[in-house]
Chain A
Amino acid sequence: MSVAKILEMALRAGRVTRRYPYQPPLLTPEFRGAVRIDPSKCWGCGACVRVCPPNALTIRSSGKDVTLEYFVGRCIFCGMCAEVCPAGAIEVTKEFELSAASTEDLRTRLVHRLARCSVCGAPVWTEAELRAVVKASPIAEEYIALCPKHRKERFAKAVALRLGAEGE
Chain B
Amino acid sequence: MNIARALRAVRKSIWVFHLNSGSCNACDIEVLDALTPYFDVERFGVKLVASPRHADVIIFTGPVTRESLPKVVRAIKAMPRPRLILALGSCAVGGGIWWDTYSTLGGFKKLEEILRESGVEVDRVVYVPGCPVRPEAIIYGTLLLLGAVEQKVRSSEVAVPEG
Q: Which residue of A lies closest to B86 (CB)?
A: A99
Of A17, A77, A102, the contact of B43 (CB 8 Å cutoff): A17
Binds A, one of B15-23, B114-122, B135-143: B135-143
Is the Cβ of A99 less than 8 Å from the Cβ of B159? no
Q: Which residue of B lies closest to A44 (CB)?
A: B160
Is the Cβ of A55 less than 8 Å from the Cβ of B99? yes
The proximity string for A residues 81-103 relative to B, scoring 1 for CB distances below 8 Å and 0 otherwise, is 00000000000000011111111
The answer to whether residues A101 and B144 also contact, given A17-B38, A17-B39 and a CB cut-off of 8 A, is: yes
The proximity string for B residues 131-158 relative to A, scoring 1 for CB distances below 8 Å and 0 otherwise, is 1001011011101100011011111111
Q: With a CB–CB cut-off of 8 A, which chain A residues contact B70? A: none
Is the Cβ of A25 less than 8 Å from the Cβ of B136? yes
The count of residues in chain B whose C-beta lies closer than 8 Å to any C-beta of chain A is 45
How far does the alpha carbon of A44 sit from the alpha carbon of B130 in the complex, in Å?
A: 25
How far does the alpha carbon of A72 sit from the alpha carbon of B152 in the complex, in Å?
A: 13
Is the Cβ of A26 less than 8 Å from the Cβ of B136? yes
Interface flag for B125 (CB, 8 Å): yes
Is the Cβ of B125 less than 8 Å from the Cβ of A40? no
Q: With a CB–CB cut-off of 8 A, which chain B residues contact A77? A: 130-131
Q: With a CB–CB cut-off of 8 A, which chain B residues contact A148? A: none
Binds A, one of B2-10, B45-53, B54-62, B89-97: B89-97
How far does the alpha carbon of A103 sit from the alpha carbon of B106 in the complex, in Å?
A: 13
The proximity string for A residues 102-121 relative to B, scoring 1 for CB distances below 8 Å and 0 otherwise, is 11111111111100000000
Q: With a CB–CB cut-off of 8 A, which chain B residues contact A126? A: 160
Q: Which residue of A lies closest to B157 (CB)?
A: A109
Is the Cβ of A99 less than 8 Å from the Cβ of B141? yes
B155 to chain A, nearest CB (A): 5
The answer to whether residues A74 and B153 also contact, given A44-B160, A101-B126, A106-B127 and a CB cut-off of 8 A, is: no
Q: With a CB–CB cut-off of 8 A, which chain B residues contact A12? A: none
The count of residues in chain A whose C-beta lies closer than 8 Å to any C-beta of chain B is 45
A155 to chain B, nearest CB (A): 28
How far does the alpha carbon of A147 sit from the alpha carbon of B156 in the complex, in Å?
A: 31
Is the Cβ of B156 less than 8 Å from the Cβ of A108? yes
Is the Cβ of A99 less than 8 Å from the Cβ of B94? no
Q: Which residue of B lies closest to A31 (CB)?
A: B134
Q: With a CB–CB cut-off of 8 A, which chain B residues contact A113? A: 159-160, 162
Interface flag for A39 (CB, 8 Å): yes
B61 to chain A, nearest CB (A): 14
Q: Across the A-B interface, give the 7 residue pairs with the lowest CB-CB distance, nearest first.
A: A74-B94, A73-B93, A73-B94, A99-B141, A76-B131, A109-B157, A17-B40
Q: Please report A residues at the B interface, Cβ cutoff 8 Å.
A: 16-21, 25-26, 34, 39-40, 42, 44, 53-56, 71-77, 96-113, 126-128
Q: Please report B residues at the A interface, Cβ cutoff 8 Å.
A: 37-40, 43, 90, 93-97, 99-100, 107, 109, 124-131, 134, 136-137, 139-141, 143-144, 148-149, 151-162
